[in-house]
Amino acid sequence: MSRLLSFIAGAASVGVVVGVLALAGAFGGDTTVVRAQAAPPATTTPIARSGTTVAAIYARVASGVVFVQANSGRGQLAFPGGGRAASGSGFVVDGEGHIVTNDHVVQGATQYRVRFGVHGRPLVAKLLGTDPSADLAVLKIDPKQADLHPLQLGASDRLRPGDLAIAIGSPFGLEGTVTSGIVSALGRTITAPNGFAISNAIQTDAAINPGNSGGPLLDAQGRVIGVNSQIQTNGGSNQNSGVGFAVPVDAIKRALPALEQGKSVRHAFLGVSTQAAANGGATVGDVVAGGPAAKAGLERGDVIVSIGGARVSGPDDVAAAVNARKPGDKVAVLVERGGDRRTLNVTLGAQPRRVGTP
């Protein structure tokens, strides 16, 4: 649970997330209608190590990326036959018709359709499951209705700042748009639709705009390394400013088995808000009454120094340490209180549906 200035990159909802603490987080849900603009030109920047180009990767994987319409009564795009729709992107992950997108793309909707390519016909999709804590959702179409080209999932732990990053999606409803850049940074913390923290997000300067939400971020081999989810902007504009964030592929791998079966994804919960401590560590703010931290004896004003033996330099480290574990896991939390250090043994709970709910 932590904080970051970030903005949801969906076509229908670009929500502001400002100064979020673990318990007091807010996820913007204001509807913003974005007018279509000219698509940014596709780049053919050479990839030195692989000897191929962005154009070659696009030609190979673009058929596995879809335009997602979610009939939610919001946004500017209309379904055939009437109704209003939010929109975003998604990508195929297997031959059975499973499609990954963002939770905030489908949130609050009742009907879903996907389209392959600019001239493809809309296909009815079923929402199997959502994971608001990771901003992920899985749709399914009848595999007999489309020639499926699943994208390969890569790995988050092999990424380095400076690696090539390619985004494919439908910014402003313009399907099949490709942009490229680099992995700008790793280990970022962004805020999920339910107010909790998503750890180890990938920062990229590949142009991501409203409508790219749910589309894949790819590496130099065309493998999925993340799901494009949020952008940081300046002055309240919805325009890309070169700072975008993707949910890491490892989060997709964790959530997929449950979401494909329509099950909830359980996330670990500590039950405190934190802020940066003056001399390093994370200072505990609010403590959820009856929560895991409270039961273990954590108090407001404690400075968390380490969790599970791993040093804590700030709130992001607390979120990462908790998110890496499962409900029921026991973890040693070293805190400073009144000049003394003490170790408190916490049994992690399960996240509630939203920040601030019991």
User: From CA 99, how far away is CA 106, in angstroms rounded?
Assistant: 12
Which amino acid is it at 274?
T
Residues identified as active-site: 104, 135, 213
Q: What is the largest CA-CA distance in the chain?
A: 68
CA distance 170 to 87: 8
Three-state SS across the chain?
CCCCCEEECCCCECCEECCCCCCCCCCCCCECCCCCCCCCCCCCCEECCCCEEHHHHHHHHHHHEEEEEEECCCCCEECCCCCEEEEEEEEECCCCCEEEECHHHHCCCCEEEEEECCCCCCEEEEEEEEECCCCEEEEECCHHHCCCCCCCECCCCCCCCCCEEEEEECHHHCCCEEEEEEEEEEEEEEECCCCCEEEEEEEECCCCCCCCCCCEEECCCCCEEEEEEEECCCCCCCCCCCCEEEEEHHHHHHHHHHHHCCCCCCCEECCEEEEECCCCCEEEEEECCCCHHHHHCCCCCCEEEEECCEECCCHHHHHHHHHCCCCCCEEEEEEEECCEEEEEEEECEECCCCCCCC
Q: Give the torsion sign (CA, 231, 233, 236, 238).
A: negative
Length of the chain: 358
Of 39, 77, 60, 66, which Cα lies nearest the Cα of 178?
39
| Positive or negative: CA dihedral 114, 232, 21, 281 | positive
